A and B are shown apart, each in its own frame.
Chain A
Amino acid sequence: MQQKRQSYPLLRFLSLAIIVAAWDLLVRFRVYRFGYIPSPESVIAAGAQYLTSNLFVTDTLASTVRILAAWGMSAVIGIPLGLMIGWKRWFSNLTFPVVELLRPIPPIAWIPAGILFFSQIELSVIFICFIGSFFPIVLNTIVGVRLIDRTHFRAASCLGARDWEVFRDVIIRGAMPSIVVGLAVGMGINWMALVAAEMIAGDRGLGYRIWEAYSLAQYPRIVVAMAVIGVIGAAMSVVIRYLGQKIVPWQPSTMRT
């Protein structure tokens, strides 16, 4: 079953055409409650209007900055933390219980607390996204360190490596493939958290635009903003995958998020 099978681009196109046609017909004939859903034409019209407006630029910029800030912060804090937890038993005992305690709380549940902690909207949104990407990054880093072949450590010791040399050459490099996976997964959850945070607590950004469009009954714009989020999210994960390949060229490209 592993051999590559023939894929039919025409079939893929047909599949999408059927979906769009079904969507259009269901909305047009108001089947069940599809009458409340915006039609494909109205979405295209709203898209043409929104994508050429200034709002689109400012929303995209606001959301992207928040995502990158939160993601960068959780990488800067999460990767060293995960490396240390994976490496030193005492450090793991000291910090991992707290990580395990907080991990089952989904980032969305942090929204009220985030608003409480930070009076500024900007910071609370970034904080909620940070929570979203922090745990996958830490956990994948720990797993990465724990999966390093024990012989690498022994080899390093035999060659007279000091502690920090083991850290630099064995731990960091060995955990790298898993860290890249954590970064990719974290980015995905980051977008979830961003949309929720902006919907509930935001003042601008793509998630906020979805919610505003809903409250103002500009329903087609909801779908436009969803599509924009999807495209930017997909583009970011492509970039992460590409960079991951550059950073860990020795790892086969079977990264699944």
Chain B
Amino acid sequence: MATIDYAHVIASAREIRARAARWRTARANVPGLLLRLMSIVLFLLVWSAFSLLPWAVQVPSPADVLKAALRLDAAEFAHDLFLSASRVLLGFVIAAMVGIPLGIVIGYSQILRDLLFTPIELLRPVPPIAWIPLAILFFPEIDWMIIFLTFYGAFFPIVYNTVAGVSNIRATYIRAGQSLGASQWTLFWEVVLPAALPVIFTGLYIAIGVAWLMVVAGEMIANKGGVGALTWQSYQTTQYPMIFVGMASIGVLGYLSSLVVRGVARLIIRWEP
């Protein structure tokens, strides 16, 4: 006698229903997807049309840009990308290593806040880019000059967010920890740090964007190696389509690195949606 495995039937019925629902939402999304695709296509069309205007003859069309990208010397281009990315990474890592402990200490103690945060607050309104000439004077090597600039740009969002994260912890969390008999040390590792980490990562996310901005500015001024220099030299040598190749590669690298920061944040911070 054949027995009916009810559990299996119910499960497969559920599966079918779920699949149908997925299909329905996918179909409902089709116009949306089409519109989104159209958005990009329209953008490229408008850009092409713009490049045909008589007073914009210097502006290359998307096709010109694609052609320039294909003509690129791969090894040299890869070297430029690597150079910029490593400068960003180094400056960013140093900024995190200095900025996070500093922010924690400032968030913890009012005395240290008065001592250490005052100069930081005073320097913050000066855009990091304005430091370029002093950085050139101070660092004889271009590499260290640019790494300093990326460090400096990334430093402020990291410190500010860490301070905010540590000093805005709910007082009840601290009191709960204390009444459960946590030592200062446990309190820091088990309460303060987990509560502050999401805010710290917001700072890191902003910082990596600023670091890319700084590397481009530094490389454009130094004009020696990296995607920023590539973009600027393309302008100087009137290879205009290459400007846009440089911009696009900066955009892609910047986007990828913020994806990485976000991914790491998700891996580490599992307690926050």
Q: Which residues of A contact B (CB under 8 A)?
A: 1-3, 5-8, 11-12, 14-16, 19, 33-34, 36-37, 89-90, 93-98, 101-102, 104-113, 115-117, 188, 191-192, 194-196, 199-200, 207, 210-211, 213-214, 219, 222-223, 225-227, 229-231, 233-234, 237, 256
Would A223 and B114 count as touching, CB distance under 8 A? Answer: no
Q: Please, which residues of chain A bring their CB within 8 A of the CB of B166?
A: 1
Contacting residue for B126 out of A12, A37, A116, A233, CB 8 A: A233
Would A12 and B216 count as touching, CB distance under 8 A? Answer: no
With the chains together, A9 CA to B126 CA distance in Å? 22
Q: Please, which residues of chain B bring their CB within 8 A of the CB of A110?
A: 247
Tell me the count of chain B residues lying within 8 A, CB to CB, of chain A. Answer: 70
Q: Does B254 lie at the interface of the complex (its beta carbon under 8 Å from any beta carbon of A)?
A: yes
Q: Please, which residues of chain A bring their CB within 8 A of the CB of B169?
A: 1-2
Q: Does B134 lie at the interface of the complex (its beta carbon under 8 Å from any beta carbon of A)?
A: yes
Contacting residue for A112 out of B39, B221, B232, CB 8 A: B232
Interface residues of chain B: helix, strand, loop or mixed (majority): helix
Known: A105-B250, A233-B126, A233-B127. A1 touches B138 (CB 8 A): no
* CB of B46 to closest CB in A, whole Å: 9
Would A192 and B250 count as touching, CB distance under 8 A? Answer: no
Would B125 and A214 count as touching, CB distance under 8 A? Answer: no
With the chains together, A170 CA to B118 CA distance in Å? 41
With the chains together, A3 CA to B169 CA distance in Å? 11
Q: Which residue of A lies closest to B43 (CB)?
A: A98
With the chains together, A239 CA to B136 CA distance in Å? 33
* CB of B64 to closest CB in A, whole Å: 12
Q: Which residue of B lies closest to A222 (CB)?
A: B133
Q: Does B23 lie at the interface of the complex (its beta carbon under 8 Å from any beta carbon of A)?
A: no
Contacting residue for B130 out of A11, A105, A117, A195, CB 8 A: A195
Q: Please, which residues of chain B bring their CB within 8 A of the CB of A227?
A: 126
Q: Does B38 lie at the interface of the complex (its beta carbon under 8 Å from any beta carbon of A)?
A: yes
Q: Please, which residues of chain A bring their CB within 8 A of the CB of B240?
A: 116
Q: Please, which residues of chain B bring their CB within 8 A of the CB of A95?
A: 39
Would A90 and B35 count as touching, CB distance under 8 A? Answer: yes
* CB of B155 to closest CB in A, whole Å: 14
Would B171 and A1 count as touching, CB distance under 8 A? Answer: yes
Give residues 30-59 of B contacting A (CB, 8 Å). 32-33, 35-36, 38-40, 42-43, 56, 58-59
Would B243 and A199 count as touching, CB distance under 8 A? Answer: no
Contacting residue for A214 out of B133, B213, B251, CB 8 A: B133
Known: A15-B118, A106-B250, A116-B240. A226 touches B110 (CB 8 A): no
Known: A12-B118, A98-B43, A117-B56. A33 touches B140 (CB 8 A): yes
Would A231 and B125 count as touching, CB distance under 8 A? Answer: yes
Would B129 and A195 count as touching, CB distance under 8 A? Answer: yes
Q: Please, which residues of chain B bring their CB within 8 A of the CB of A191?
A: 127
Would A112 and B243 count as touching, CB distance under 8 A? Answer: yes
Would A101 and B38 count as touching, CB distance under 8 A? Answer: no
With the chains together, A235 CA to B183 CA distance in Å? 43
Contacts beyond the supplied A93-B32, A97-B40: 10 A-B pairs with Cβ under 8 Å? A1-B171, A2-B170, A37-B137, A93-B35, A98-B42, A106-B250, A116-B235, A207-B129, A210-B130, A225-B130
With the chains together, A214 CA to B42 CA distance in Å? 44
**Chain B window 131-168, contacts with chain A (Cβ cutoff 8 Å), 1 for yes, 0 for no:** 11110111110000000000000000000100010111
Q: Please, which residues of chain B bring their CB within 8 A of the CB of A230?
A: 123, 125-126
Q: Please, which residues of chain B bring their CB within 8 A of the CB of A117?
A: 56, 59
Q: Please, which residues of chain B bring their CB within 8 A of the CB of A226?
A: 126, 130-131, 134
With the chains together, A101 CA to B36 CA distance in Å? 12
With the chains together, A231 CA to B126 CA distance in Å? 8
With the chains together, A234 CA to B126 CA distance in Å? 8
Known: A93-B36, A106-B250, A256-B160. A16 touches B118 (CB 8 A): yes
With the chains together, A115 CA to B231 CA distance in Å? 12
Q: Does B95 lie at the interface of the complex (its beta carbon under 8 Å from any beta carbon of A)?
A: no
**Chain B window 238-271, contacts with chain A (Cβ cutoff 8 Å), 1 for yes, 0 for no:** 0010011011101110110010000000000000
Would A210 and B133 count as touching, CB distance under 8 A? Answer: yes
Q: Please, which residues of chain A bring their CB within 8 A of the CB of B122?
A: 16
With the chains together, A7 CA to B140 CA distance in Å? 40
Known: A11-B111, A108-B216, A222-B134. A89 touches B59 (CB 8 A): no
Would B254 and A106 count as touching, CB distance under 8 A? Answer: yes
Known: A95-B39, A105-B247. A15 touches B220 (CB 8 A): no
Would B254 and A15 count as touching, CB distance under 8 A? Answer: no
Would A256 and B164 count as touching, CB distance under 8 A? Answer: yes
* CB of B143 to closest CB in A, whole Å: 15
Contacting residue for A229 out of B114, B126, B137, CB 8 A: B126
Q: Please, which residues of chain A bring their CB within 8 A of the CB of B216?
A: 106, 108-109
With the chains together, A121 CA to B77 CA distance in Å? 30
Q: Please, which residues of chain B bring their CB within 8 A of the CB of A231?
A: 125
Would B174 and A106 count as touching, CB distance under 8 A? Answer: no
Q: Please, which residues of chain A bring their CB within 8 A of the CB of B56?
A: 117
